[in-house]
Amino acid sequence: MMKRIIGLLLFITVAVCPAISQEFTAKLSSPEIRIGEQATIEFECQFSAVEKQIMMPALKDTISKFIEIVDVSIIDTTFDQDDITLKYFTQTVTITSWDSGLHVIPPFKVVIGNDTLYSEPILLSVTTVALQEEQDITDIKSIIDVPFSLWDWILGRSWLLGTIAGIILLLVIAYLVYRKFQNQPQIEEIVVIPKEDADLIANRKLKELESKKVWQKGEVKEYHSNLSYIVREYIENRFEINALEQTTDEISMLLIGHSEVHKSDLAQLIQMLQLADMAKFAKQQPIAVENEQALKTAYNFIEKTKIESHETTDSNTLNPAENDA
Q: What does the pLDDT average to over 88-116?
A: 91
Q: What are 199-249's pLDDT values in tens digits?
A: 999 899 999 988 988 888 888 888 888 989 999 998 999 888 888 888 988
Amino acid at 259: S
Residue 28, SS3? strand
Residue 60, SS3? coil
Question: Do the Cβ atoms of 90 and 69 come closer than 8 Å?
Answer: no
CA distance 264 to 261: 9
Q: What are 104-156's pLDDT values in tens digits?
A: 999 999 998 888 889 999 999 999 877 666 666 777 777 887 787 888 888 88
Residue 103 pLDDT: 92
Q: What are 32-41's pLDDT values in tens digits?
A: 999 999 999 9
pLDDT band at 70 (very low <50, low <70, confident <90, very high): very high
Residue 318 pLDDT: 40
Residue 214 pLDDT: 85
Q: What does the pLDDT average to over 245-266?
A: 86
Measured in degrees and rounded to the nearest 5, phi and psi for residue 23 equal -140, 150
Q: How many CB atoms lie within 10 A of CB 58?
A: 8
pLDDT band at 51 (very low <50, low <70, confident <90, very high): confident
**Residue scoring higher pLDDT (182 or 29):** 29
Measured in degrees and rounded to the nearest 5, phi and psi for residue 311 equal -80, 130
Question: Do the Cβ atoms of 42 and 27 come closer than 8 Å?
Answer: yes
Residue 124 pLDDT: 92
Domains, the chain, in order of start with CATH, read 16-127 (2.60.40.740), 198-305 (no CATH)
CA distance 226 to 294: 12
Report pTM. 0.38
Residue 230 pLDDT: 92
CA 6, 7, 12, 13 dihedral sign is positive
